Amino acid sequence: MKPVKLPLFMTDVTIKIAGQAGQGMQSISYLLGKLFTRGGYYVFTSQDIMSRIRGGHNFSQIRIRDAPVYCNSAKVNVLVALDEAALTLHKDELIKDGVIIFDKEKTKFDAPGLVLFPVPLEKLAKDYGKDKIMVNTVALGALVQLTGYPVDLLYNVLKDEFSAKGMEVVNRNIASARAGYDYARNNFRRECPCKIGLKPKEPKRMLISGSEVLGVAALCSGLKFYAGYPMSPSTPIMEYLALKAKDFNIVVEQAEDEISAINMVIGAAFTGVRAMTATSGGGFALMVEGLSLAGMTETPIVIVVSQRPGPATGFPTRTEQAELQFAISAGHGEFARIVFAPGTPEQAFQLMNKAFNLADKYQVPAIILTDQHFNDSYWTVDSLDLAQITIDRYDVSNKWLNQPAYTYKRYQLTESGISPRIYPGLRNQVIYADSDEHNEEGHITESAELRKKMVEKRLKRIESIRQELASCYVYPEDNQETMLVTFGSNFGVVKEAVDILNEKKFKIGMLHLSEIFPFPRESVMAQLGFSRKIFTVENNATGQLARLLTAETRIKVTDKILKYDGRPFSVEELVDRIEMII
Amino acid sequence: MGRLIDYESKDPIAWCPGCGNFGILEAVKLALADLNLEPYQVLIVSGIGQAAKLPHYLRCNTFNGLHGRTLPVTTAAKITNHKLTVIAVSGDGDAYGEGGNHFLHALRRNIDITYLVHNNQVYGLTKGQASPTSDLGFVTKTTPLGTISAPINPLALAIMMDAGFVARGFAGEIKHLTWLIKEGIQHKGFSLIDILQPCVSFNKVNTFKWYKYRIYKVNEDPKYDPTNQNLALKKSMEWGDRIPIGIIYRSNRKSYNEQLPVIKEMPLVEQKISTDKFKKLLEEFY
């Protein structure tokens, strides 16, 4: 093996793998993520998928850095083209001296200024992997050779990932990777301009997707019941939980529709366990009636709403942040709710737990608002801190064991508006929960006086919840003349744009909202009070965050940086957009 | 036998005088007392409609949810605590109209609950519109020319789906209905009891008298075998001059909750959270 010369500059490499649905782009980017994370790098991978199972054009992108990375870059260093369309569609995204690995037997292609590595991907896949589906693994082998990365690490990753499918699958993958690796070593004299060497020993880190972190956090928060109806991009959460159901003694039920799913979740929560569902905008629309039921019956539930572009079916496999106003106001009638919009795996881990705890404490529904970009992306994460996790149920069953028989009142009026909560089955007490307006026992009432008290009881907790929410996240810490206000999955891209612009001597900061509703008015007003210019950065067409910000704080937004083509911002695009209007 | 008085609720009843629901309420109380169940061991879930008010009128755990959404709540409640005796109460609109999809899927699951459907073939709470079980030609304010869509046959649907226990009762036959409810509760699987319930305010066709003349008790015939699916299906098609009541079909298909390994040992709600496994779970991502 040739000695690898480590670049003097910081490693920041973007590899794009493109081809048809079914060719395994997601699988390569995941394996690359695992490979480089284990080698001490930080990666961020994202998926650009069409709504089809075979054919079409998909790509997966992985960015590899030696510092934490949370977003895409538009500057591609290496393109792995698994079909001809990939070459024509993406060659212009490559930097000067960018590298292309493609199938030389299927495509004739030349591009001045780019470095081409034609590999007979399909032939090697058939010869060594016994199936043309192995083209992705062949390409992986070639890529590892060209970048000068140790191939043994790749073999280990393949072993770990495929061992569950049996030794035969492992061996075919290793043979395919080796074929790609050997072909590159034996046939190319030209040095590959993109090198990623092995780093000195670094602490072990995790590679985790947004969906996985939501599932893990729910399990670690004591989730016992999940019901849902498959809908992109929320489905991987359900699949992850179903995989873990046996080991963690939880029930995962595929409901007949989202209406059933949320009512099941309410039924399970009423009966005493932590319960959750996940969906996207369209499914959430069907759940809205149930959301209101949770509000009225004061049943704590958690709903993950993973946004995708609407209206209606929209772009089923793409990303958007257009359900912010929907999430904070969905449901007939007036009731309290919590909405969290995490921007990183670490935030998601902590906020899922907080959502469950606050839902139980305040007996309200809690919504975790994510999107396709968040759910389907993988991150390298230093660690997820279990010490931060608590399970606080706030049930008073023990206290009620020895109370006089049949005296429990589900909706007892209290100072805080929160009534003590027990579960059905407790000896000599019964619970009446009702979606009609009710009295303290839970029986139907028509009383004007009671109605007023019950409305106030349900709404009083909004201010208490607001007090529980953390201050908004500001970066860098000192006040800036110009502030970019954003929420959810834009965390990483805005943060990096801020770094780039500050290096160019702009005085710019980010305010990121993850604990977004009830809106943290005071903290936002304190942070934005000194800013001369305020821009929101949002993946929607109407500036929903700007509207919310103004409605809650009366702060006027200078301008909105909006993106609504179904794709996430890249850092270069965002920097350009900011520079244009600043 | 438990004491009937234990099931008394102080909540004032809001049904019309003479309503068929009174007979059903009486039968529910008798059945629970006969089975020696304490009020805290019972959960009744209902939707919205006149029928759905029933659980307020006896002492038991109650979840009075949304119109049509009775069964999803019931299903999850049973999964969460299968020690509870879980009963769902709906009307014909709630069960077969707004909740139609949930009904089909509850039949698939065969979850061990008892579903009482007060079937008066008309909408009561919204004051007299056609229902999914209204007979053809039934004239209401929303169908002034008479209903032209065929009525749903809930018994036939349930038998075709091999639901555990399929029965029809009559609100005017309290003793017989009590027996059906007890059998339904004791059956390990989904028990549908469709109950003919005259509506004194809005259904002037299918009255007490109308039903009384037509019903006959199918299980009085020793030759009738409710475990024969074909025979039961045929029986469920009888409607008009003669209407069979009683246990129409029984199946020993395993219930959903019996097949859930997670709740084999103890109810989900009583299980400790596996905190010892969290660390290992995170290690899978390294």
Confidence of residue A1 (pLDDT cuts 50, 70, 90): very low
CATH code at position A515: 3.40.50.920
Domain span holding position A500: 473-581
- Per-residue pLDDT for A382 more than 80? yes
- Cα dihedral B89/B93/B99/B103 (nearest 10): 70
Confidence of residue A86 (pLDDT cuts 50, 70, 90): very high
Decide if B66 is inside a domain: yes
Rg (chain B; Cα; Å): 20
Residue type, B259: Q
Residues A345 and A439 in one domain: no
Decide if B177 is inside a domain: yes
Mean pLDDT of chain A: 95
Confidence of residue A198 (pLDDT cuts 50, 70, 90): confident
Determine what percent of chain B is predicted with pLDDT higher than 90: 96
Q: Which of A363, A388, A413 is the last residue of a domain?
A: A388
pLDDT for the residue numbered A7 = 42
pTM score of the predicted model: 0.96
Decide if B35 is inside a domain: yes
Closest CA of chain B from A188, distance in Å: 34
Decide if A457 is inside a domain: yes
Tally of structural domains, chain A: 4
Decide if B265 is inside a domain: no
- Inter-chain CB proximity A424 and B81 less than 8 Å: yes
- Per-residue pLDDT for B239 more than 90? yes
Tally of structural domains, chain B: 1
Residues A53 and A79 in one domain: yes
CB A106 within 8 A of CB A139: no
Residues A142 and A243 in one domain: no
Contacts of A264 in chain B (CB under 8 A): 72-73, 75-76
Confidence of residue B1 (pLDDT cuts 50, 70, 90): low
Decide if A441 is inside a domain: yes
pLDDT for the residue numbered A25 = 86
Contacts of A427 in chain B (CB under 8 A): 40
Instruction: For residue A437, give the chain B residue with the closest CA.
Output: B64
In this structure, what are the phi and psi dihedrals at residue A153, rounded to the nearest 5 degrees? -60, -40
Residues A137 and A282 in one domain: no
- Per-residue pLDDT for A234 more than 50? yes
CB A123 within 8 A of CB A105: yes
Residues A460 and A481 in one domain: no
A112 versus B231: the higher-pLDDT residue is B231
DSSP character at residue A272: T
Determine what percent of chain B is predicted with pLDDT higher than 70: 99
pLDDT for the residue numbered A263 = 98
Decide if B266 is inside a domain: no
Residue type, A544: Q
Residues A347 and A212 in one domain: yes
Confidence of residue A6 (pLDDT cuts 50, 70, 90): very low
pLDDT for the residue numbered A5 = 45
Decide if A264 is inside a domain: yes
Decide if A7 is inside a domain: no
CATH code at position A142: 3.40.920.10
Decide if A1 is inside a domain: no
Residues A48 and A189 in one domain: yes
Confidence of residue A456 (pLDDT cuts 50, 70, 90): very high
Mean pLDDT of chain B: 96
Q: Which of A438, A468, A498 is the last residue of a domain?
A: A468
pLDDT for the residue numbered A116 = 95
- Per-residue pLDDT for A9 more than 70? no
Residues A484 and A571 in one domain: yes
Nearest to A432 among B62, B80, B281 (CB): B62
Contacts of A265 in chain B (CB under 8 A): 76
Stretch B242-246: mean pLDDT: 98
Residues A478 and A456 in one domain: no
Stretch A96-120: mean pLDDT: 91
Residues A246 and A380 in one domain: yes
Decide if A64 is inside a domain: yes
- Per-residue pLDDT for A2 more than 50? no
Residues A184 and A258 in one domain: no
B278 versus A21: the higher-pLDDT residue is B278
- Per-residue pLDDT for A123 more than 50? yes
CATH code at position B183: 3.40.50.970
Stretch B240-247: mean pLDDT: 97
- Per-residue pLDDT for A3 more than 80? no
- Inter-chain CB proximity B102 and A260 less than 8 Å: yes
Residues A28 and A166 in one domain: yes
Residue listed under structure tokens 């475990």: B227
Lowest mean pLDDT among A13-27, A428-442, A567-581: A13-27
- Inter-chain CB proximity B65 and A222 less than 8 Å: no
pLDDT for the residue numbered A555 = 96
- Per-residue pLDDT for A23 more than 90? no
Considering only residues 93 to 112 of chain B, which have any Cβ-Cβ distance to chain A shorter than 8 Å? Answer: 101-102, 104-105
Determine what percent of chain A is predicted with pLDDT higher than 90: 90
Domain span holding position B170: 4-259
Express each pLDDT in A273-306 by its tens digit: 999 999 999 999 999 999 999 999 999 999 999 9
Instruction: For residue B11, give the chain A residue with the closest CA.
Output: A443
Beta-bridged to residue A55, according to DSSP, are A21
Decide if B278 is inside a domain: no
